[in-house]
Structure 1
Amino acid sequence: MTQVLLDALRRPDFYPHPVSSIQIIETHISWVILTGPYAYKMKKPVNFGFLDFTTLEARRYFCEQELQLNQRMAPELYLAVLPVTGTEQNPVLDGVGAPIEYLVKMREFPQQQLLAQVQARGALTAAHIDALAQQISHFHNSLAPVAAEHELNRPQAIVAPMYQNFEQIRPLLQEAQDLQQLEALSQWTESSIQRLWPVLEQRCQQGMVRACHGDLHLGNAVLLDDRVVLFDCIEFNEPFRIIDIASDAAFLVMDLEDRGLTVQANRFINAWLEQTGDYAALPVLNLYKAYRALVRAKVSLFCLYQEQDEAQRLAVLNQYRAYAQLAESYSRIPYPFLAITCGISAVGKSSVALQLVEDLGAIRLRSDVERKRVFGALTAEQLYSAQTTEQTYQHLHQLATQILTAGFSVVLDATYLKLAQRQAAAEVAEGTGVPFVILDCHAPEALVAQWLAERQAQGVDPSDATLDVIKAQQANREPITAAELPYSLSIDTQHSNHFDELIVSLRRRFPGL
């Protein structure tokens, strides 16, 4: 590739459509030519070991891979692979004759619509996070093919890049403190891998290694026609892309936490878990997040010795240390707790539970979601029968045990109107050795009716409760007993300031949070 061809691509008359302006964005592996209506990506003829674009045939193949793989998520964005014919001095786009280069044609979008830019200007909302979770979970559930027979579908392949991180980082460090931290992270990673090996084997056997995105972060998501769209997946290296779906999701969680967006990270992972049902991923989540943070740390170090200016070298080293510190945070001993909501339908229990998700990092299990996940084929009458309800609570408690054992706090979002149901939850806490709290939710009847009507009008809540159901719940509920009061908290859900007071109270009760 010569500068001559790149200069020729700057000419508006090269393109068979109106061009408003020409701008070229350069990365370490490609050039992206922005023309106004369309963007054209051209791969550099480089070999970095983890990718090799040095031949024209390789660049053609990986352009086609990029198109095919990204059309799974963004067919409206990725349009075609076009040959460039003619000469470097006088190239022709999609002309006749032997190709001299290939371009990926894409729909251009304003750079300020990237979610990384949206976040930088303080405009990233909870709706954006929910849309990300919906898009990614749908992609993992329906569009990412299982790699059942692939050589990468084995625990050895999952952990190989984790070990490689340490091998590549260690020679680049000089400070004793950095080396000591890296050694501690290496030992924690090794012990985690040994402890979690059966879980990794099980995930391979259960089809959780799939052809994923591989590079999920806010810089690879864009607001397009008021929708969140994922793009720019890894096409050039299968081991980076054919991975555990939990590792794919962990990349975005780590990216959010690196940006200081802990609330958003908690909200995202809860929504992703709820929509995939992959709660079995939780034991390996922190291992994957630490791995992803160390990849970022390693890439930072790769730039260290390219910088001549001492101030820039220090900035690069500080960036490495920030990512290493983030990785280290995932190795801390957790202090989980179990909370349950208690109250009639539409009283605001889910909002209370979501507060624990966002502020305390709890994993929320919603009875209405899990009931339909397990018994979705039943009629509405069967779905809410006494037998199905009992089985739903048993399922919730089994999941809670699994998640608590993995070191995560749990909030069970269900009515828990019966004493036996609450006692069964308390037994889960006792069996896993964690603190237990009942969140007793209440609000005026008129307000509950109003909230129910609003929820039904929106049509997005998983609950099928009606006003008659709520009246029956009120008539048959078993109040909190005197024996339960010491580990119960009363919450008036009509006052939002009570939610903040709840978090303060829980932090006071559970100092390890």
Structure 2
Amino acid sequence: MRTPLPPLINALLDPARYPDPAQQVELIETHASWLLLAGDYVYKIKKPIVLPFLDYGTLAQRRACCEAELGLNRRFSAQIYLEVVGITGSPENPQIGGPGTAIEFAVRMRRFAEAGRLDHLCRNGRLHAREISELAATVAEFHQRAASAPLSTRFGEPEQVLLPALENFKELPELLPGGEEKERLTRLAAWTGTEFARLTPHFAARKAAGRVRECHGDLHLGNLVLIDGQVQIFDCIEFSEDLRWIDVSSEIAFTYIDLYDQGQAGLACWLVNEWLSCSGDYDAVQVLRFYAVYRALVRAKVAALQARQANADLGQAIAYLALAERLVTPPPARLIITHGVAGCGKSRASRRLMLGDQAAATLRLRSDVERKRLFGLAPTANSQSAPGSGIYARGASDLTYQRLHALASELLAAGWSVIVDAAFLERSRRNAFRALAERLGVAFFIVAPQATPAQLRARVTGRREKGHDASEATLAVLERQLAQVEPLSADELKNLL
């Protein structure tokens, strides 16, 4: 039976109580808040409750949390979060923004179309790589601006990373009482303990490097919305510093497992790759799988609690358990390099491989992006380099391939498959990566798309006209490459994918 609404919320269902025109008022209730959708605006009122992780018990606490919510969310959604308003009068006869002493407070927000939320787009098959790229860039930019946790704070310390992970294994056995589920949790707990011991130096180093920041804390698809073609973040965690001051890798892991859970492993893979390409934080990959498993088990716990409250089955919770198991047992890593001149379709082919990865375990390194990063340039910046000079001189190319080799080695050792999207015109460069695969004991493949000379020239010309691409290849560069390319040997042809 539904709990009766308090008199204040009942009264605020009357459209006449609002300062702006509203034909009707829609109520959305969460475990911690009431959201009143009135005309073009939303009024969010916090419930007077105290939970282990949240304290809205007093009016002063609720006001402080409303003000914190406004300030924190205006970091990335100032056009949505407008103000904190007092509600005066009495619960039976309230007045929003009226004179006198406030009896309650609300966060006033600009309303947006719910159909634009990314969870709705995903379920309706309308979420594509384009929106995921926009999301990755938005999150990377937000993380870059967010404050870093001072070294003197507890945030991001290894023991603080382990504590919530262990809490999952204390609470889930009671929520998932089946013998099989307990055995699965025991295996996941053992993996978590082993991985934590191995990764402890990484957690400490990442905090020292400023990778623990004041993040959003709850970055699932339901807290992301597409407005006028731009992804907007909203509804961050304001009530817990421990849940908000986290490693940026833990932040992106939440969105990653949400996409994976909704059957969009390819988009999950694309998200991580686009975020890495924007941020350059490849060290995040070392701890990403640990955080992804933690996030999946948190979702399992929440789903189990909701099932218990609704007297429903535990199917969703068990599905999250299965997701965590898939994450800890990825397919064998493999190293894939591309081969070909500008315009042959290397990036398009590597994109297909990522979007088709049903394990969401493939990472791509683009020479065009990493070359620019080495020389302090944005991916789409024009270096003004002539063919064979500047950042494309022989020495610069050597540095670029050395960087790609070092990164590929680190990512493969962390258990991820890697695609190196580069021209690899010279056999010696290809042999260096083949040797890397042999040393690490991973499969080695070559992707070599083909195109006619006319197609190559048309693609290079078209890309230059459009702009906004990391590649700076011109027709002159193409002709130079065609003259220099060393074709694949008979032995290399055996590795074609």
TM-score of the superposed pair, with normalisation by structure 2:
0.94
1:97-246 equivalences under 5 Å are 97-142=100-145, 144-149=146-151, 150-246=153-249
**2:290 corresponds to which of 287, 291, 316:** 287
Q: Does 1:468 align with 2:465?
A: no
- Offset at residue 137 of structure 1 (A): 1.4
For residues 53-102 of structure 1, what are the alpha-carbon distances to aligned partners after superposition, in whole Å with 9 as ceiling and x for unaligned? 01111111111111111111111111111111222232222233222111
- Offset at residue 459 of structure 1 (A): 1.2
For residues 183-224 of structure 1, what are the alpha-carbon distances to aligned partners after superposition, in whole Å with 9 as ceiling and x for unaligned? 111111111111111111111111111111111111111121
Indicate the residue corresponding to 2:454 in structure 1. Answer: 446
3-state SS of 1:461 partner:
coil
Indicate the residue corresponding to 2:415 in structure 1. Answer: 407
3-state SS of 2:120 partner:
helix
The letter for the 2-side match of 1:250 is: A
Indicate the residue corresponding to 1:389 in structure 2. Answer: 397
The letter for the 1-side match of 2:353 is: L
Indicate the residue corresponding to 1:499 in structure 2. Answer: none
Q: Does 1:56 align with 2:59?
A: yes
3-state SS of 1:122 partner:
coil
CA contact (8 A) 1:290 1:330 kept: yes
For residues 260-291 of structure 1, what are the alpha-carbon distances to aligned partners after superposition, in whole Å with 9 as ceiling and x for unaligned? 11111111111111111111111211111111
- Offset at residue 172 of structure 1 (A): 2.9
CA contact (8 A) 1:376 1:383 kept: no
3-state SS of 2:434 partner:
helix
Indicate the residue corresponding to 1:496 in structure 2. Answer: none
Runs of 4+ in 1 over 6 A off after TM superposition: none
Indicate the residue corresponding to 1:498 in structure 2. Answer: none
- Offset at residue 431 of structure 1 (A): 2.1
3-state SS of 2:449 partner:
strand
Indicate the residue corresponding to 1:336 in structure 2. Answer: 333
- Offset at residue 379 of structure 1 (A): 5.7
Indicate the residue corresponding to 1:365 in structure 2. Answer: 365
- Offset at residue 36 of structure 1 (A): 1.7
Indicate the residue corresponding to 1:416 in structure 2. Answer: 424
What is the Cα-based RMSD across aligned positions, in Å?
A: 1.6
Counterpart Cα distance in 1 of 2:18 and 2:466: 46
CA contact (8 A) 2:156 2:203 kept: no
Counterpart Cα distance in 2 of 1:226 and 1:477: 41
The letter for the 2-side match of 1:145 is: A
**2:343 corresponds to which of 333, 341, 346:** 346
Indicate the residue corresponding to 1:501 in structure 2. Answer: none
Higher mean C-alpha deviation, range 81-90 or range 66-75 = 81-90
Indicate the residue corresponding to 1:81 in structure 2. Answer: 84
Counterpart Cα distance in 2 of 1:14 and 1:254: 41
CA contact (8 A) 2:123 2:262 kept: no
Counterpart Cα distance in 2 of 1:29 and 1:486: 59
Counterpart Cα distance in 2 of 1:153 and 1:294: 19
- Offset at residue 136 of structure 1 (A): 1.2
Indicate the residue corresponding to 1:322 in structure 2. Answer: 319
**1:478 corresponds to which of 460, 470, 486:** 486
3-state SS of 1:484 partner:
helix
The letter for the 1-side match of 2:46 is: K
- Offset at residue 303 of structure 1 (A): 3.1
Counterpart Cα distance in 2 of 1:66 and 1:82: 13
- Offset at residue 13 of structure 1 (A): 2.5
Counterpart Cα distance in 2 of 1:147 and 1:122: 38
Counterpart Cα distance in 1 of 2:306 and 2:487: 62
- Offset at residue 232 of structure 1 (A): 0.8
CA contact (8 A) 1:155 1:204 kept: no
Counterpart Cα distance in 2 of 1:108 and 1:79: 11
- Offset at residue 428 of structure 1 (A): 1.6
3-state SS of 1:279 partner:
coil
Counterpart Cα distance in 1 of 2:334 and 2:17: 63
3-state SS of 1:74 partner:
coil
Counterpart Cα distance in 1 of 2:122 and 2:243: 26
CA contact (8 A) 2:122 2:262 kept: no
CA contact (8 A) 1:40 1:103 kept: yes
CA contact (8 A) 2:334 2:442 kept: yes
- Offset at residue 230 of structure 1 (A): 1.2
| Percent identity between the two aligned chains | 41
- Offset at residue 166 of structure 1 (A): 0.6
For residues 4-42 of structure 1, what are the alpha-carbon distances to aligned partners after superposition, in whole Å with 9 as ceiling and x for unaligned? 211221222322111132111111100000012111100
Counterpart Cα distance in 2 of 1:2 and 1:343: 66
How many positions carry a matched residue from both structures?
482
Counterpart Cα distance in 2 of 1:173 and 1:271: 36
For residues 141-197 of structure 1, what are the alpha-carbon distances to aligned partners after superposition, in whole Å with 9 as ceiling and x for unaligned? 22x211123321311111210001111112333221111111111111111111111
- Offset at residue 333 of structure 1 (A): 5.2
Counterpart Cα distance in 1 of 2:177 and 2:122: 35
Counterpart Cα distance in 2 of 1:121 and 1:420: 48
Counterpart Cα distance in 1 of 2:481 and 2:23: 63
**Structure 1 residues not aligned, in runs of 5+:** 490-505, 507-513
The letter for the 1-side match of 2:471 is: S
**Structure 2 residues not aligned, in runs of 5+:** 378-382
Residues 305 and 413 of structure 1, relative CA distance in 2, 3 Å threshold: closer
Indicate the residue corresponding to 2:375 in structure 1. Answer: 375
TM-score of the superposed pair, with normalisation by structure 1:
0.91
Counterpart Cα distance in 1 of 2:426 and 2:340: 10
